[in-house]
Structure 1
Amino acid sequence: MKEAFLHHLWKFKKFDTLNLRTVKNEEILISNVGQYLELAGPDFFNAQIIIGIQKWAGNVEIHINSSDWYVHNHERDANYDNVILHVVWNHDTEIFRKDNSEIPVLELKHYVTHETLASYQSLMTPQSWINCENDLSTIDDFTIKNWQERLFFERLERKSTFINDLLIQTNNDWEAVLFCLLAKNFGLNTNGATFFKIAQQIPIQIIRKESSEIENLEALFFGVAHLLEVEKEDLYFKDLKFRYFYLMNKYQLETTIVEPLQFFKHRPDNFPTIRLAQLASLYATQQNLFSKIINTFSAKDLYEVFKVAVSAYWKIHYTFDNESDFKHKKIAKGFVDLVIINTIIPLQFAYSKTMGFSDTDKLVTLMEQLAPEKNTIIQKFSYFGLDSKSAFDSQSLLQLKNEYCNKGKCLECGIGMELLKKS
């Protein structure tokens, strides 16, 4: 039995409300269950209840056992002085306020049907993948859509925490924040952390100044990544190495060691050399990148912004020295989708919050223009009846699985609550 289940029972009156009595046999009539706060202090605020012949207005506190009142030290907390009813599953001791007046107790287990308990136990019973997998298809589209929207913005809130911390580190320079986030995204899962550290070591002011020469940007990126430290006969390599030391001296840059970049198990188009070359090309061809994307909510327009190819050298190379067949190596549409999902939309969300306005509808619309991600979690949800038609759907379902299903938070989930309400 979880306390959240008792909150659900009280909030939706999922018990026999016509024959309620306190453990001291006083009649209870509920006029208003109160406001569910989900904050510190009593669970339900400003309830209205008639106990015996006395009408009370105040707060309701809910516990599994009456004695939990003392376990949580509520008798010492002034926030609980106005509790008018203690709702519990098991009554194991009397409860008193600070002034020694006894608090009436409702022992809820006598008023809940076996069917309601069975629904709760069914919801909380682990299945092959998630607890409600057999009932997902019974939830109406309106409930699913509303819950997905909340999940989507919960996910953005979590991501915006990282962005806000980065904003502080960069002295509130949104262009610098974008550069670091893009670098992390371009590094993919394998090299993302290293790309991020590389970006952190190159001030955005230098990127702005040197963006007119793509070779200078490549020299900085490859140099900080420690890809120019060996000796090679390749003339382009030697040129980048010369430029790198010149720029380091010019700007008095000091770099720290980063983890070695990983090439193993990557397809050549995802080699870190190619991704760094694409990032350099993006900043060489798109001036004022932040301004271009922050208010752009059209996937088509964003595809145009990222429609760049690598420099001439990298069109016939994947690594230094080794020449390959010619290929433009443009940033692929699927990769741009990932950039929009993981960088642009979280940045737009964080920026709008910081500036004091809301673009929530536009963000949802943009996400609905993108194809859903393809992974095991999304495939599993589809198997159990929840299909993803867009990135909005897939992102919300990832949040659902990781933050609710995996953590057994069925009683805090919109789908779980709907299944209980049906009982």
Structure 2
Amino acid sequence: MTEDFLAYIWKFQYFNKENLRTAGNEELVVLKPGNLNTNAGPDFQQASIRINDIVWVGSVEFHVKASNWQRHAHTTDGKYDQVILHVVWENDATVLRTDQTPVPVLALKELVSPNLLQTYQNLKKAKAAIPCEAFLPTVPAITKTFMLERVLLERLEEKAQRIREIYRHSGNNWEETLYKIMLVGFGFKINQNGFSKLAQALPFKILQKHQYESLQTEALLFGQAGFLAENHTDPYLLQLRREYLFLKHKYDLPPALQPSDWNFLRLRPANFPTVRLSQLAVLISARPHWFSTLTGNLRLKELEAFFKVNPSGYWQKHYMPEREANFKIGALGKSSVHLLLINVVAPLLVAYAREMDQPALVEKALHLLEALPPEKNHILEAFQQMGFENKSAAQSQGLLSLGQNYCQPVHCLQCAIGNSILKRSKTAA
């Protein structure tokens, strides 16, 4: 038994309320269960109950055992004087407010359906990656759809909130903000940390001054990333290094990144961070005004075309400085472009929508995700095997959010699918 489950039972009133009485044998009627309090203080607020003939309005506190009231020092905490009902699983002690008046107690142990309790325990103890796997056939399709739409929005809002924080730390500059999140996006999970460090070590306002000069753009990016060494012999790399040293001194740039900041292990050469830097460099030079373009009215094909730029001549033939490739290095692949649209552009639209109060941009972000093909990984395959659809990036993102934020931590009580399963198991005690 947990306090979260007690709160869940109370919120939905999943207990036998016939002839309900307090531990002191007083008649009890729940008029309004109240609202969950996410701040300090009692668990539920603005509840309303009737004890005998008196209506009380105030807070409700939950504990597995009544004696936890003293253990948590509520007897000496004035915030808990407003508690009108102490809901517990086991009533093993009398509890008092600071003025020594007793708090009415409702013990639920004998009032909750054994089926409901058993189902909850089965969910908590399930060893499957998706705890409710065995119960899913009983869940209506509309419930699954509702939950996936909800968690998709939660995921977008969570990403958007992080972008808004970056926006505030970037002096409310959207171009700088997009630059930072774009670089992280170019890390494609394996090298996100390195690209994030590069964004901090090389402000976008400096790159902007040279964005129409491709040589200097490359010099700044590869130099600050730590890929322009003293011992190069290639004429082009020597030219890049000279440009970099001049610009580093001019702008008093911080130290360059170290080799340890980058990951090459188990990556194909086409996905090396050096290749991504070459693609990023030409994107900066060839595609000015990132923010206004990507938040504009571009269709999916136009957004895909935005990222389709080939590296400069040297980097079409080299996947590392002075290491020639046996294949031609071109623009980002379509799957990589789609990941940038999913993880950068869609959340950016939501962040901008929230900052500027333009809800239409949220719909635009959703439409973009619905137009993109689904992602593929072992988590999504597991959901598909259990009957969930995965036909678009919107569904992929919803399923990933469901798995990460609800299934893995077993937050079934906060999940509409879990609620549906528990509700079906509820019977009169």
For residues 275 and 257 of structure 1, what CA distance do their matches in structure 2 show? 16
Contact 1:170 1:177 (C-alpha < 8 Å) held by counterparts: yes
Pair 1:369 & 2:380 matched: no
Higher relative contact order (CA 8 A, sep 6+): 2
Change (3 A) 1:322 1:82: closer
In structure 2, what is the equivalent of residue 248 of structure 1?
248
Deviation of 1:93 after TM superposition, in Å, equals 0.9
Q: Secondary structure at the match of 1:134?
A: helix
Change (3 A) 1:23 1:251: closer
Q: Secondary structure at the match of 1:21?
A: coil
Contact 1:297 1:366 (C-alpha < 8 Å) held by counterparts: no
Pair 1:286 & 2:284 matched: no
In structure 1, what is the equivalent of residue 212 of structure 2?
212
**1:321-340 Cα shifts (integer Å, max 9, x gaps):** 34445636112111011112
Pair 1:385 & 2:387 matched: yes
For residues 200 and 146 of structure 1, what CA distance do their matches in structure 2 show? 39
**1:176-225 Cα shifts (integer Å, max 9, x gaps):** 22212212221223322112222222221221121112121111111112
In structure 2, what is the equivalent of residue 317 of structure 1?
318
In structure 1, what is the equivalent of residue 345 of structure 2?
344
Pair 1:171 & 2:171 matched: yes
For residues 76 and 47 of structure 1, what CA distance do their matches in structure 2 show? 22
Deviation of 1:24 after TM superposition, in Å, equals 1.9
For residues 117 and 324 of structure 2, what CA distance do their matches in structure 1 show? 69
For residues 102 and 323 of structure 2, what CA distance do their matches in structure 1 show? 84
Pair 1:49 & 2:54 matched: no
Deviation of 1:97 after TM superposition, in Å, equals 2.1
In structure 2, what is the equivalent of residue 222 of structure 1?
222
For residues 326 and 128 of structure 1, what CA distance do their matches in structure 2 show? 44
Contact 1:297 1:362 (C-alpha < 8 Å) held by counterparts: no
Change (3 A) 1:367 1:185: same
In structure 2, what is the equivalent of residue 354 of structure 1?
355
Change (3 A) 1:313 1:96: same
Contact 1:297 1:363 (C-alpha < 8 Å) held by counterparts: no
For residues 71 and 416 of structure 2, what CA distance do their matches in structure 1 show? 30
Deviation of 1:278 after TM superposition, in Å, equals 0.4
Q: Which amino acid aligns with 1:179?
A: Y
Q: Secondary structure at the match of 1:103?
A: coil
Q: Which amino acid aligns with 1:166?
A: I
Q: Please, which moves more after superposition, 316-325 or 205-214?
A: 316-325
For residues 323 and 115 of structure 1, what CA distance do their matches in structure 2 show? 67
For residues 298 and 71 of structure 1, what CA distance do their matches in structure 2 show? 60
Unaligned runs of 5+ in 2: none
Change (3 A) 1:166 1:135: same
With structure 1 as the length reference, what TM-score do the two structures score?
A: 0.92
In structure 2, what is the equivalent of residue 147 of structure 1?
147
Pair 1:94 & 2:80 matched: no
For residues 391 and 45 of structure 1, what CA distance do their matches in structure 2 show? 39
In structure 2, what is the equivalent of residue 116 of structure 1?
116
Change (3 A) 1:224 1:25: same
For residues 96 and 254 of structure 1, what CA distance do their matches in structure 2 show? 61
Contact 2:347 2:365 (C-alpha < 8 Å) held by counterparts: no
Deviation of 1:17 after TM superposition, in Å, equals 1.0
Q: Which amino acid aligns with 2:114?
A: H
Q: Which amino acid aligns with 2:392?
A: S
In structure 2, what is the equivalent of residue 156 of structure 1?
156
Q: Which amino acid aligns with 1:351?
A: Y
Corresponding pairs, count: 423
Change (3 A) 1:13 1:190: closer
Contact 2:346 2:366 (C-alpha < 8 Å) held by counterparts: no
Find the partner of 1:407 among 390, 406, 409: 409
For residues 259 and 137 of structure 2, what CA distance do their matches in structure 1 show? 46
For residues 333 and 413 of structure 2, what CA distance do their matches in structure 1 show? 41
Deviation of 1:42 after TM superposition, in Å, equals 2.7
Contact 1:198 1:258 (C-alpha < 8 Å) held by counterparts: no
In structure 2, what is the equivalent of residue 127 of structure 1?
127
Contact 1:123 1:410 (C-alpha < 8 Å) held by counterparts: yes
Change (3 A) 1:44 1:228: closer
**1:99-151 Cα shifts (integer Å, max 9, x gaps):** 22222211111211222222222222223323211122432233223322332
Deviation of 1:251 after TM superposition, in Å, equals 3.1
With structure 2 as the length reference, what TM-score do the two structures score?
A: 0.91
In structure 2, what is the equivalent of residue 191 of structure 1?
191
For residues 326 and 298 of structure 2, what CA distance do their matches in structure 1 show? 37
> Cα RMSD over matched residues?
2.3
Unaligned runs of 5+ in 1: none
Change (3 A) 1:104 1:178: same
In the TM superposition, 1:258-277 aligns within 5 A as 258-260=258-260, 261-277=262-278
For residues 131 and 297 of structure 1, what CA distance do their matches in structure 2 show? 41
Contact 2:349 2:364 (C-alpha < 8 Å) held by counterparts: no
Contact 1:137 1:386 (C-alpha < 8 Å) held by counterparts: no
**1:16-37 Cα shifts (integer Å, max 9, x gaps):** 1112111122222223323334
Q: Secondary structure at the match of 1:388?
A: coil
Deviation of 1:275 after TM superposition, in Å, equals 0.8
Change (3 A) 1:210 1:68: same
Q: Which amino acid aligns with 1:126?
A: A
For residues 61 and 190 of structure 1, what CA distance do their matches in structure 2 show? 45
Deviation of 1:38 after TM superposition, in Å, equals 4.0
Change (3 A) 1:25 1:300: same
For residues 203 and 55 of structure 1, what CA distance do their matches in structure 2 show? 62
For residues 34 and 7 of structure 1, what CA distance do their matches in structure 2 show? 11
For residues 299 and 96 of structure 2, what CA distance do their matches in structure 1 show? 61
